[in-house]
Amino acid sequence: MPWKDTGPMEERMKFISLYQEQEYSVSALSRYFGVSRKTAYKWIKRYSQEGIAGLSELSRAPRYQARRTRSEIEAAIVTRAGSCKAKRGPKKLRRLLELEHPEVAWPAVSTIGAILKRNGLVTPRRVRHKSPPYEQPLAGCAGPNAVWSADFKGWFRAGNGERCDPLTISDNYSRYVLRCQLVPTTSFEAVQPIFVGAFREYGLPEGIRTDNGAPFATTTVGGLSRLSVWWLRLGILPERIRPGQPQQNPRHERMHRTLKDDCCKPPSSSRIRQQAAFDDFRDDFNNHRPHESLKQHFPAECYVPSPRPYPLILPEMTYPDDMVVRAVKSQGDISWKNRHIYLTSVLAGEIVGLRQVNNHRWDIFFGPIRLAQLDTVSSKLVHLPRPKTRRRKKRQ
């Protein structure tokens, strides 16, 4: 016959049953059940006042917590979190509350996070395995307009089926979103006017960081495109991250995640309404969203326009005296010692410079960008070696 397991509730009821028979003393029953007489008398008292319900286990939590957040403070936090156009984390929410009510001693960030979670204002995220962070410092982010970032935030369809291709431009130092604009296509003709508007409003940056997609880059020499050639004529250095390495542009990619959560889940009913949502997002992101990397300041507080104005006339490319200058013809080739050397049609009508390396090699430049080397013996281009990339090891 197997042993019969009993729980604490059954043992207490058995104790009360034996006590009511009045054949055993409280001391004897306490020794038999292995409890103190104080506990035994407590059970007897609770049973006489509440019946069987008095024998159930009670919570050992204190009735009053001295450090508990006051109800009016918690209500103010919940109300402010609900009034935000987009979701705010505890750090940003605490910063906003401090600006609006500096006289109040707001609780710690961890406490605000617990309050948001307790009130159902936190959406749990799916745990994802992340690659190691890019530890090298990003070049040229010492101040506003040192480097801008530009990218397309993946196309999607509005509620009525219209395609939406948002082009985003931001300042890497201040995180200020300069443009978030829907474009009809990703061609040079559709994208250039948006950059013209940004340059006229904010001036020229020193460089612009993009990926390797159109219209930012091509597979031709130097990876140049019509857009990057135009930037170089303006004195803007185009920077491209390595293929498949979005972590080399982390600030812009992080902004895209916020943009997707706030404006595209779900998308608006039409392109017009979607653009209005992007405009509201840009205003909220720049003027009402504190950033931890900016010491909880707003991007608008850290950004100033560039002192380099957009020129009325596109300047010509100039080269130092130690270079030989050649004009690129309409077919994309240059003349060299009565021979035609093909470069790329992207540079048609532009000026390139050649600098001698040795007796048989010349480097070809367009502005500060070295495109290739010219071998004067074979009259052919020698393409520059690609940077080495680490290959993933195959699993055994």
Strand-strand pairing, 147-152 and 156-157: unpaired
pLDDT of residue 300: 93
Query: What sign does the CA torsion over 41, 45, 46, 48 have?
Result: positive
| Distance of alpha carbon 140 from alpha carbon 138, whole angstroms | 7
- Confidence (pLDDT) at 139: 54
Alpha helices in the chain (DSSP H): 8-21, 26-33, 37-50, 71-83, 90-100, 109-118, 188-202, 226-233, 250-263, 271-287, 299-302
pLDDT given at position 128: 60
What digits encode the pLDDT tens for the residues 322-343? 999 999 998 999 998 888 889 8
**CA 219/CA 225 separation, integer angstroms:** 9
CA-CA-CA-CA torsion sign (138, 143, 146, 149): positive
Q: Are 158 and 274 in contact (CB under 8 A)?
A: yes
How many angstroms separate the CA atoms of 240 and 217, rounded? 8
Cα gap 122→71, rounded to integer Å: 19
User: 């001036």: which residue's tokens?
Assistant: 203
Q: What is the pLDDT of residue 33?
A: 84
Q: What is the architecture, at CATH level 2, of domain 147-302? A: 2-Layer Sandwich (3.30)
The Cα 355–Cα 214 span in angstroms is: 30
Q: What are phi and psi of 163, to 5 degrees?
A: -80, 140
The predicted structure's pLDDT at residue 16: 83
Tens-place pLDDT, residues 51-68? 888 888 877 777 777 778
d(CA 207, CA 249): 13
78 is written with which tokens?
């919940």
Query: Rounded CA gap, 37 and 39, in Å?
Result: 5
Region at 63 (left for phi over 0; alpha for psi -120 to 50; beta for the rest): alpha
| CA separation for the pair 212, 386 (Å, rounded) | 14
Q: Please report the sign of the dihedral spanned by the C-alpha atoms of residue 196, residue 201, residue 203, residue 204.
A: negative
- pTM of the predicted model as reported, rounded to 2 decimal places: 0.69
Domain limits, the chain: 8-55, 72-118, 147-302, 324-383
What pLDDT, on a 0 to 100 scale, did the predictor assign at position 127?
Answer: 67
pLDDT per 10-residue tile (average), the chain, 396 residues: 66 84 84 87 86 80 78 89 82 90 91 89 70 40 90 90 94 94 93 96 94 87 90 92 81 90 89 94 92 89 95 91 91 88 90 90 90 85 61 47
What was the pLDDT predicted at 394? 46
Q: Which residues, in sequence order, are CB contacts of 336 under 8 Å at separation 6+?
A: 326, 374, 376, 379
Task: State both tokens at 67.
Answer: 């450090």
What's the pLDDT score for residue 199?
97
Interior CA angle at 381 toward 224 and 376, to 5°?
140
